[in-house]
Structure 1
Amino acid sequence: MGETELDVIIPVYRPDERFFQLLAQLACQSIPLHRIILMNTERAYWDAAGAEGRLETLGISERCEIHHLSKAEFDHGGTRNTGVLFSETPYFVMMTQDAVPCDDKLLERLLFPLVNGKAEMSYGRQVASPDADILEKFTRRYNYGDQSFLKTEADKEKLGIKTYFASNVCAAYVRARFDALGGFPPRAIFNEDMIYAARLLQSGGTLAYCADARVYHSHCYTPAQQFHRNFDLAVSQAEHPEIFADLKSEAEGIRMVRRTARFLKRQGEGREIPRLFALSAAKYFGYALGKRYRLLPKWLRARCTMNRSYWEKCA
């Protein structure tokens, strides 16, 4: 693929051991890494983690560029846009601080369809961590299969809302196309990656899923956390009817619950089905409320969201 350089942009909040594992893996990638641009929320947490010393220990301090901001200034779209402004390479990669590359070929494989003109955005495969529970492992396999593919706007009739599915947990972008489309929405509670992907496809672009570009990334959410997450997801969709008005998520969610329940039965893990239903109910009610967030008083929105500062900035 030649000497293609790129920057990696990572929003950071309360850096932990997984974050430093991520940086260590980025330092060992098979293609040149120009800079790691870190958009850190709250300098006090950065200092408390001894982050500067850890960067020195990893031998990457000269390649890391840290920009500090307050929690009130953070925005899922705006903060990432600012990170891109600090980048100078023709391609860049967005990651989250809890995604750890599985090998040294992550960046090379993410960039392959972009450098070869097959797509203008790509996203990688999320693999559940070895210590993840059985529900999370199945969810990752369900959403991130082992076959790579390309998506265009023509796939919407077949794939529905999954046509626009992409994730900044691990995604690469062509800078020129990103700039031409105006980047991420400058104000976003969540889902900035999918909103950008939709605009890319609607403008005639192509989105690549790279199954061989793998990161370890998984969560063990409680029903309450799933409720908050899906509330914010639905708000992001309600705020962009030009993309999501004719696309429904409910059918895909029901399909996933059914397949997960069948999987648990086949594995002899029927005792997990009540937890599956509890998590699914929390997702549904969070999503349903988020879709109707305009009908809710501001105090109730603050109770439902994962991102209270987003509502504090609302007029």
Structure 2
Amino acid sequence: MNVTVIVPSYNGGNLWKQSACLLAEQIPSLRVKVIDSSSEDDTREIAQGFGFEVEQIDQKDFDHGGTRSYSLEDVNTEFVVFLTQDVLLEGKDAIAFLVSVFDKDPEIVCAYGCQLPHVDANPLAQHARYNSYKPDSYVTSLTDDFPTGFRKAFLSNSFAAYRVDFLRSIGGFPRHLILGEDAYVAAKALVANKKVAYVAEAKVRHSHNYSVIQEFKRYFDIGVFHSTQSWMIDELGSVEGEGVKFAVEQLRYVCKVKKHHWLILSIFTSMAKFIGYKLGKKHQMLGVKLSRKLSMYKSYWNRV
């Protein structure tokens, strides 16, 4: 297929070894580029062992959007698929399923697949995946009724595909975003009257067992992202109320799977997300020094 796969990496460990093995079983002669941020383990050697192209960059130079845009410079395929090093592809046709959605409508310019929780995922991580990745596929535009609001721009570069010409037409992924370069591009597509697709048949395993503190830091960064990219909320709609809905559904899920000892942690996690998000939106009042301490992606603040 006319596709290049790009994987940013850093100290991928054993999970990357599994991920690379599954990636190598995909489309024959698939070009895979690994952009490695100077790993200190055998991440690069694993990639080379599977015949992947490897380019090393300095760790300090990694940028969620900028590094992915840089990786596009020598791509001459029609489509590009981005993966993260901790994704385990489900089935040998996962990438083919994802990219095939572009054949259905030329207005579809970006798409993402279904992320299932890893086998060791705790109940909160399980719910996060089942809540975000439903069984039914969809294609949406700015005028479609589903999904609603900001959710229209949901996209994850852990397993996402793009038309390369569209990415280049908007200047690629933005440089120096704290996170959310994938949602940014999806929003750009929507306001340009293009379409975003979710392909439920294209599946991977991907989840994180975050602690309460890690969730606080992650949602602080989400708050920073939303405050610095307020145009997205202006164009698509507010995210207010989504957090409460998610927290209630999380409690219901914990009860459904009979993991009642997770109820208290579920409540504290939801509180941490809410407080972190609100503080992130006010990061300018907090200043760079304090914001760096509260943030998960601390290198972002070196360039603020």
Same fold (TM over 0.5): yes
Residue 98 (str. 1) matches residue 86 (str. 2): yes
Aligned match for 2:42, one of 45, 49, 72? 49
Structure 2 partner of 1:9: 6
- Which ranges of structure 1 fall in alignment gaps of 5 or more residues? none
Structure 1 partner of 2:65: 77
CA contact (8 A) 1:71 1:309 kept: no
**Deviation readout 1:207-241 (Å, 9 max, x if unpaired):** 11000100000110001101111111111111111
Structure 1 partner of 2:228: 239
Aligned match for 1:150, one of 126, 131, 139? 139
Structure 2 partner of 1:204: 193
Equivalent-residue separation in structure 2 for 1:126 and 1:196 (angstroms): 19
CA pair 150-158 structure 1, distance change in 2 beyond 3 A: closer
RMSD over aligned CA atoms reads: 1.7
Equivalent-residue separation in structure 1 for 2:57 and 2:147 (angstroms): 42
CA pair 200-101 structure 1, distance change in 2 beyond 3 A: same
Residue 275 (str. 1) matches residue 272 (str. 2): no
Structure 2 partner of 1:113: 101
**Which has the larger displacement, 158-167 or 121-130?**
158-167
Secondary structure at the aligned position of 1:120 is classed as strand
Structure 1 partner of 2:53: 65
Secondary structure at the aligned position of 1:142 is classed as helix
CA contact (8 A) 1:7 1:33 kept: no
Equivalent-residue separation in structure 2 for 1:55 and 1:188 (angstroms): 27
CA pair 272-51 structure 1, distance change in 2 beyond 3 A: same
The amino acid across from 2:156 in the alignment is: S
Equivalent-residue separation in structure 1 for 2:197 and 2:88 (angstroms): 20
Residue 292 (str. 1) matches residue 292 (str. 2): no
Aligned pairs (5 A) from 1:99-178: 99-117=87-105, 119-155=108-144, 159-178=148-167
Aligned length, in residue pairs: 302
Structure 2 partner of 1:260: 250
Q: Report % sequence identity.
A: 28
Equivalent-residue separation in structure 2 for 1:201 and 1:56 (angstroms): 37
**Deviation readout 1:250-295 (Å, 9 max, x if unpaired):** 3111111111212323333332111111111111111101111111
Q: How far off is 1:126 after superposition?
A: 0.4
The amino acid across from 1:36 in the alignment is: V
CA contact (8 A) 1:6 1:91 kept: yes
Secondary structure at the aligned position of 1:85 is classed as coil
Structure 1 partner of 2:213: 224
TM-score (norm 2): 0.94
**Which has the larger displacement, 242-251 or 89-98?**
242-251
The amino acid across from 2:300 in the alignment is: Y
CA pair 157-116 structure 1, distance change in 2 beyond 3 A: closer
Secondary structure at the aligned position of 2:60 is classed as coil
Q: How far off is 1:123 after superposition?
A: 0.1
CA contact (8 A) 1:238 1:244 kept: no
The amino acid across from 2:34 in the alignment is: L
CA contact (8 A) 2:34 2:55 kept: yes
Equivalent-residue separation in structure 2 for 1:158 and 1:143 (angstroms): 12
**Deviation readout 1:106-149 (Å, 9 max, x if unpaired):** 11111111133351111000001122112211221111011111
Q: How far off is 1:92 after superposition?
A: 0.6
Q: How far off is 1:56 after superposition?
A: 5.3
CA pair 18-32 structure 1, distance change in 2 beyond 3 A: same
Q: After the TM superposition, which segments of 4 or more aligned residues of structure 1 sit over 6 Å from their partners?
A: none
Aligned match for 2:17, one of 17, 20, 28? 20
CA pair 166-107 structure 1, distance change in 2 beyond 3 A: same
The amino acid across from 1:270 in the alignment is: H
Q: How far off is 1:297 after superposition?
A: 1.8
